[in-house]
Structure 1
Amino acid sequence: MEVSPGPTRPREPEFRRPDRAELAAAADRTIPDVIDQGLTVLFVGINPGLWSAATGWHFARPGNRFWPALHRGGFTPRQLHPSEQDTLPGYGLGITNMVARASARADELTPAELVTGARTLTDKVALYRPTWVAVVGVTAYRIGFARPKAGFGPQPEPLAGARLWVLPNPSGLNAHFTPQTLGAAFGELRAAVAGDPPPAVG
């Protein structure tokens, strides 16, 4: 997957921020996936935050570092704004969530929800057949897939035929990773993706 060089300054479109009442009303909402058949990488968030549920954009909360890390890692030629999420399939990328319902914090989810979400994700991957699946959050992955010792990076087992990778949670609450180290983690996945042999033709 080749990414052409381009401007690195993020686009900041004008939009109205949801107010406190709108954020509160967004709890338990769902938002559509950004997905298509045969993507190169399907990124899997834990679940939508309230900002995402209120705006309809994945990883929308100010301070979430997914979009900067996606660019720093080499997946996009510039930093995209969450409102540009529908351009991702053009780069061979998509976004879904392990659990569909929105909450203020991921730790509000129950283990049962994560286990059910892992099964739903497996079915989704079997349907859409991405080459890689990147789960953004190791704790959710460990619980949902019953892999208590799983670490970051490539996983030994595939997921419904897709290669599986675990990335750090890009939430601003994750103080263990800086924007630089988070971008480097995304870059490791990008390097692995770039090392894939081209698909067979015919």
Structure 2
Amino acid sequence: MGVNQTQSSDATPTQLADMLAGNLDVLFCGINPALSAAHAGHHFSNRSNRFWRSLHLAGFTPHQIRPEDDHTILHHGCGLTAAVERPTVKASDLALHEFRAGADGLERKVQRYHPRFLAFLGKPAFAAIFNKRSVAWGRQQVRFGGAEVWVLPNPSGLNRAFTLDALVSAYRELQIACQAP
């Protein structure tokens, strides 16, 4: 599955293609693509982002996937999407209405592809979509589009509240849940 970018008239990438397939174990849902990822045409392409390393160390993949090979995540029962498609330099550049506007499309994707788990990477998208002020990490007591929902720490290098070990530990909890029948 290749990555498709839509180009605007000023040649700024306006979309980063999802990595989706039917019946995935986990659909990882980022807040939105980083502008650098949209320019590169690959998810989590910034060297400071710890997604690929965390995914591997938590046991989702047998080796660390390189951003330019992001499509291979599908071979491991995982997919990628974003709550908001618009790339930005920082997730804080997004408005609340953008999360809510993206909720229906996200739910349709989940219903169509039937992942077992939907894992939000960071609290902002989950909080906005579910209208929650306080969000706990880990398994949530709601389903979305038929999938069980988790909230995991955002792997961005800007997220200094979580060490790599803390990220791996949080992601490993979901990986263990994936192994249960």
TM-score (norm 2): 0.91
- Say which SS state the counterpart of residue 59 (structure 1) adopts: coil
CA distance in 2, matches of 1:45, 1:160: 17
Match of 1:71 in 2: 56
Kept in 1: contact 2:16–2:38 (CA 8 A): yes
| Structure 2 equivalent of residue 150 of structure 1 | 135
Q: Structure 1 residue aligned with 2:83, among 91, 98, 116?
A: 98
Structure in which a larger fraction of residues adopt strand: 2
> Does residue 1:117 correspond to 2:98, yes or no?
no
2:33 matches 1:33:
no
5+ residue gaps, structure 2: 1-9
Q: Deviations over 1:139-174 (max 9, x none)?
A: 221122212222110010111111110101111111
Task: Give distance in 2, aligned partners of 1:43 and 1:169.
Answer: 11
Residues 31 and 53, structure 1, Cα contact 8 Å, conserved in 2: yes
2:31 maps to a residue whose letter is I
Matched, 1:172 2:157: yes
SS in 1 for 2:156: coil
Q: Map 1:73-92 onto structure 2 (within 5 A).
A: 73-92=58-77
Q: Which residue of 2 aligns with 1:15?
A: none
2:58, 2:124 → 1: CA distance? 22
Q: Which amino acid aligns with 1:85?
A: D
- Which among 5, 19, 29 is matched to residue 44 of structure 1? 29
Partner SS, residue 143 of structure 2: coil
Query: Take 2:114 and 2:93, find their aligned partners in 1: how far apart are those partners?
Result: 30
Task: After TM superposition, list the pairs within 5 Å mapping 1:4-23 onto structure 2.
Answer: none
Structure 1 segments of 4+ aligned residues over 4 angstroms from their partners: none
In 2, Cα distance between equivalents of 1:118 and 1:184: 28
How many Å apart are 1:182 and its aligned residue?
0.5
Aligned-CA RMSD value: 1.3
Number of residue pairs aligned between Structure 1 and Structure 2: 172
On the 8 A contact 2:65/2:73 being kept in 1, the answer is: no
- The one-letter code of the counterpart of 1:36 is A
Name the counterpart of 1:107.
92
Please tell me the residue identity of whatever aligns with 2:67: P
CA distance in 2, matches of 1:53, 1:85: 13
> Separation in 2 of the partners of 1:189 and 1:130?
13
Kept in 2, the 8 Å contact 1:118–1:145? The answer is no
Q: Which runs of 5+ in 1 are unaligned?
A: 1-23, 198-202
Aligned identity (percent) is 40
Residue aligned with 2:119, SS: strand
Corresponding residue for residue 10 of structure 1: none
Contact between 1:48 and 1:103, CA under 8 Å: does it hold in 2?
yes
